Structure 1
């Protein structure tokens, strides 16, 4: 719906005519219908605002988000106000119903995922027990006397473990792969519409789809999947503030490296990594102008005493930083010339994530390491044409790019470490 309404501006200008457009659950306004192409002057989300009618003025309707935003409006007459009330109420009810349905589906899928994770832990325990028994048998030298084909038993357990892991990922993908982009008001600046598109491109790339006929040709293009999404391109503000959207975009762009290491066995690492990015992104989308930097999110949650609450953006950023440190250490090993992928991953894990993981998660990661590719296999997975990894420019491109990329990444992680240390937000909790 769209039409003319009068909006209260201030005590000097009073009520002024504005052109309003209700679309996608957002009410936006413009100077006039003719000036709509210039972009909206303001907007409000219907799903989170209160709709109030004035008892003494039959043409007035107030839209408020308590403590944050308000629109005081007047229609031309009572009948016109009634049309707007019906449209606004219908939009709010529809959005509420959709949110309730999504929350229900999320709860059901979360429960199913918890059940599968319990099965996964069971098979992990069983696998570790079987491996331990084989080790004991080898030490005693009586493997042949047991009459049990231990190799087939372990193989069967591994197969079941990986099958259950794939089922976990299917449930997780169905639950968490919803489009994290948000509706933008008609006429919003072009930049606001570009961000979700880039994220959508990443999601397609991470699933192995070809984007415009192009896939990363080497680690250089893999780490720079989006040329505007690099930690080395992020410009900090005067107070070393890290731009929230740019940081999240850079995090998304690095995730394809995990796919090259094994999309199934490293699924838990990737799922946790992407899940934390989405939590922070949801916080950003709740008030895009209010959280321009990562520091602004953390400071707000510190001031409102929710920084230590489970699933807060502050907690998500803490774990996202730990995941980034793991990837940084792994890439640093490659940059230093290490060609043993399993060894590089093991060293990186020991320096970063291992201290925060319980024995079950450590067992899952140990199993993942066994399936890590060789250096040649890893390099081959990064190229679009077979044999490109053998060309001379491949290795030099890797080192040239990592030499710029890693220091910038490390600088931003150090800034976050200092922030969490200042407010005592670090946690030794083991998962």
Structure 2
């Protein structure tokens, strides 16, 4: 397969997609279980390949956040297998139908959910995406082409090889899940031209990758440029609850798109809350960029201008701003949020509902951590990505987001006058 062209990859995937589209839910679930078992069985081979990827990453001096996303261990491999098993328990959207209308002439008009066809997934240092995306596309009746970055190519190939065993044992073509054998940029550019065979492109990685794919693709692209997520601590917040949300959202795992990058605190509670936040963040060695009104509460914080917010740090680093009131917080979010996830902490239900209504992010949260903005945590099973564009999906993308609806019209011989 090393000399295969982008068109050949796409054509094979399109052919394989037809085989998946006709499988029953039970048949797909049996294959998913075989995939999960194969990943567990091949754990040592996956860890060995990942060790090579990590060694190469250290030699290239990859950022700590990227190294974190790249790294696999026993727990993360088990999480991959469990994510596949969780998909088994989820309803299969393919074939779902509902009555849209019964026309006066007796025709019945239904909508039926069907697979998209072929998904091309382009991602960087996330080997777990190989399993997640492969399984999600398979359960939703699609074939997938996985173009992994150079950083994770070894790990991804071994994970895919385990899933290929399950496909072969089930009498299905390996092209249902294709890992592009080389991270060559020219081959990726050619894949983005295969609109006759590929139905959707999902890039997942840094802003540079997303912009490149969006600018060069002849195929529809799901976009998510970055995750600048905020926690707004309202004047009616439970401050202990707010502190827990802050620490979990910022420090539980930093190199991910649902980690907090901005803290907004209502002026009425700033004098009480910010010293507590400062002590807790210092204990976790979080670097703080603070506005003029809040910097007095932090030792060693760097001043930040009102125009310089909106940075995605992906590290133990956060921007803090004291806001005058609710409207000031909303104005800040509108100016600096990336549309990924924004959280309000308040005990005032009316304020929370207003926040949810006016904040135009893919996920809005009330009194819960931004770290739950994830397909698995929201009950979707594994996610293939997060869309911050509104067509055709918005937010974490699970099984249903990998399908579309077609019209099914049933008659008894009606003809149009």
Superposed pair shares fold, TM > 0.5: no
TM normalised by structure 1 equals: 0.22
Larger RCO (alpha carbons 8 Å, 6+ apart): 2
Higher strand share: 2
Higher helix share: 1
Structure number with greater Rg is: 1
